[in-house]
Every structure is written in C-alpha cells, then in structure tokens.
Amino acid sequence: MNADGVRRRDLLAYGALGLPLAFAALPLYVHVPRLYAELGLPLATVGAVLLAARIVDALTDPLIGWALDRRPGRRAWVAAALPLLGFGMIGLLAPPDGAGALWLFVLLVLVSLGYSVASIAHNAWGAEVAPTSALRTRFVASREGFALFGVMLAAALPALLAAEGGEVGGLARLALVFIPLLLVFGLWTLWRAPLPASAAPARRPVLAGLGAALRVPGFSRLLAVFAVNGIAAAIPSATVLFFVADVLGATAFAGAFLVLYFAAAAASLPLWVRISQRVGKLRAWLAGMGLAVVVFGWAATIGQGDLLAYGAICVLSGVALGADLSLPPSLLADLLARDDTQGGGGSHAGACFGWWNFVTKANLALAAGLALPLLAALGYAPGATALDALAALSVVYAVVPVGLKLLAVALLWRWRHVLESASAPQLPAAARTPCGACET
C-alpha cells in the first residue's frame, strides 16, 4: 500500500496492458514498410497503402471514443479488441505467400482497429478508476512505464530473432513472441486491475458526442498544447537516425542511444510523479518542456564523434520525455473528473481520449511531413558530408523542436489559470462548508 492509499498491485495490474500495446505499435511504424518492400511490393505501392490505412486509422479514433462512451464497460471493450490485435499481428508480420497490397491494407486496418479500441478504452479506464488527482498520475505513470519497456523489447528483439531467415523470418518470430506477451499482460489487466465505477451511458448522436467532448472545460486548450508539444517531440524521432549517422558518424550506436533514451524516460516516471505532487502537474510539465529546450539547444552544437555528449543528451531528453508521457494524460483525467462532478449527460472520457489518439497520430504524420521535405529543401540527403547539409540537419533535428517547444510553453503558461481551475478537484456539495459557518 502506498502512502496515498493505492495498492501497488492495482497500479501494476492496470499498467500491464501498456507493454503489449506499445510492443505492437513499433513494428507497425518501423518494420512493416521494409518487410512488404522485401516481399516484392513496389515502394510507391507500400507508401500509398500505408498512407491510406493511417488516414482510416486516425479518422476512426474519435468515432471509437464516441462508441465507448455509449457503452462504457472499459474491460469488455479491451477484451473484445485484444484477439483482433493478436491475430492481426500474426497475419501482418507473417503474411502468406503472394500477400499483396490488399492484404497489407486490410491487415493494417484490422490491427489498427484492435490497437485503437484497446488503447482508448485502457486510457479511459485509467482516467476513471482513480478518485484523486495524485492517484490518476500514478495510474498513468504505471501504464507509460510498462509501455516504455514494451518499446525497448520490440526494438531489441527483431535483430535477435533474425539470425535465421533474415528480417522477414525475424518479424514472423516477433509476431509469435507477441501472442504470449499479449495473453499474459492482457489477462493481468483484465483480471486484476480495479474497475472504475459504472458510468452513465452517453446517448448522444456521433457529431453531438464528439462536439461535447471538445467542450469539456479546458480540454480544447490542453489538446492544442499537446499537439504543438507532440510535433516538437516527433520531429527528432523522425530524424534521429539521420542525425546519428551523418552528424555524429555513429550508426553502430544508434540502437544503444535509443535504448538509453527510453530507459531514462522509464526511470524518470516516479520522479515526475513526485514533482507533480509538490508543484502541480501543469508546472511540472512546464519544467519538463524547459528541460527539453535546454537539451535540444545543446544537441544543435555537437558534431562528429561527440558520443559521450550525445549519450548525456539522450538521458536528459529521456527524462523530459517522462514528463510528456505521464503528465498531459493525467491533466486530461483531472479535467474529466471535474466535468463528471458537474454532470453533463454521461461520460466524455472515451471521446476525449479518441481525440487525444487522433492528435497523437496526426503529430507523427505532421512531423514526418514537415521535417523530411524541409531537410530536402535545405539541401540535405542521407549520407551527406557537406557542412551546409549537416548544419541543415542539425537545425531540423534540434532547433525546430526548440521553437515548437517554446510555443507550447507559451500556450500552456497563457492558459495555466483556465487549465488549473478546470482540473482542480471539486468537493461534493455535502462536503462544502456553507459561507455562514465561516463567519465569526
């Protein structure tokens, strides 16, 4: 039992599902394009199919959230989604002979649907299960901690599993490893995680339901800050391998740097929980953004062979990532808890997290869509050695994110009073002290 009254086993049981969900996400974005290109599909076809599937995926997330609010049983939604995700991953990563563009599109849509339903329901579950602001941060941190370990595991295994059969064989084995992980960690959450109190179904038509979520006090402003900050974080993700290869000249260490980054983020989660309890979640998130600004400002100054400096940058930027992962969803959970105390026609949690997922995916697309053409326009191409081209890469990798982070800081600071008042806990009516009782 922690000092705030929550059992550690409840935190772990809720967070456990984060591991297989994060494990599944990495192959979707990193390995699938190369896999199907090696199986004979033209790169242009693979790109078109991926774009179409991801548009479908992003647009369905708010609709999934709306549906979850009409039938709020979070555990049932997760249980229904996990088999679709598991079988879909096997079909996607171990395709039959002759699998073509249609197979790729259908399997991507099915896997993305299973992933989105499970992740949105899991996020809403965590927002609703904890009765206090501090506990909501702990539940989010547990989920994100498991997720970071899932990412590191998914990043390390393909190379280890590809000893025989090349990358194609390694990814097929990765799908088979995923199934027991999904069973063990999924059942841990489904059987052992505490359930939220039953929420009233939100009987709104789809457009009214999605619009009502955006009108939750403070949500649209929090979502705007989250979007700007998310693009700032996603640009380095889209360009890091180029930076490590061409600016640092350290391609062989790219995997180690990524593991260092994610491990630092996981280790920092308890720290951000404690900081948020001392200074508040909003100010703790501001501190995390400020750390990221300083660190990426440093990254813009390093060059060939600065491996120790970049290792330190990976650790510090990983710590800043811990704030981005744990604090914004917890702030959203506080907004939802405050909104629920004021009534309003049933839960908005599903629709809000549906919008949240939509913005997360849009951030990834926008980051690649902005960063890669900008690099080309500035004269950079992979493998470049010209000083101007490498300077352009450093600017896009480090300076552009700093500018976006500063914009996110400015927005969060400008709206701090609105967000803090919207997320402040509200006592039940019976617990409030009448003004007359305060008079002496």
pLDDT given for residue 437 in this prediction: 34
Other CB atoms within 10 Å distance of the CB of residue 370: 17
Instruction: Dump pLDDT digits (tens) for 40-68.
Output: 888 778 878 888 888 898 889 999 999 99
Q: Which two tokens stand for residue 21?
A: 């969900």
User: CA 29, CA 49: separation in Å to the nearest integer?
Assistant: 13
User: CA 375, CA 372: separation in Å to the nearest integer?
Assistant: 5
Residue 276 exposure: Cα atoms within 13 Å on the Cβ side: 29
Q: Are 381 and 246 in contact (CB under 8 A)?
A: no
User: CA 218, CA 10: separation in Å to the nearest integer?
Assistant: 29
Reported pTM:
0.84
**Which stretches of the chain drop beneath a pLDDT of 50?**
3, 344-345, 426-440
pLDDT given for residue 429 in this prediction: 38
pLDDT given for residue 161 in this prediction: 75
pLDDT given for residue 280 in this prediction: 92
pLDDT given for residue 438 in this prediction: 38
pLDDT given for residue 238 in this prediction: 82
Q: What letter would DSSP give residue 163?
A: T
What residues have CB less than 8 Å from 173, skipping those under 6 apart?
161, 165
What residues have CB less than 8 Å from 140, skipping those under 6 apart?
126, 325, 326, 329, 330, 333
pLDDT given for residue 435 in this prediction: 36
User: CA 120, CA 361: separation in Å to the nearest integer?
Assistant: 13
List the alpha helices (DSSP H) in 193-253: 206-214, 219-242
- As a whole number of Å, the CA-based R_g of the chain is 22
Q: Which domains does the chain have, with CATH numbers?
A: 1-190 (1.20.1250.20), 203-425 (1.20.1250.20)
What residues have CB less than 8 Å from 289, skipping those under 6 apart?
229, 320, 323, 324, 405, 408, 409, 412
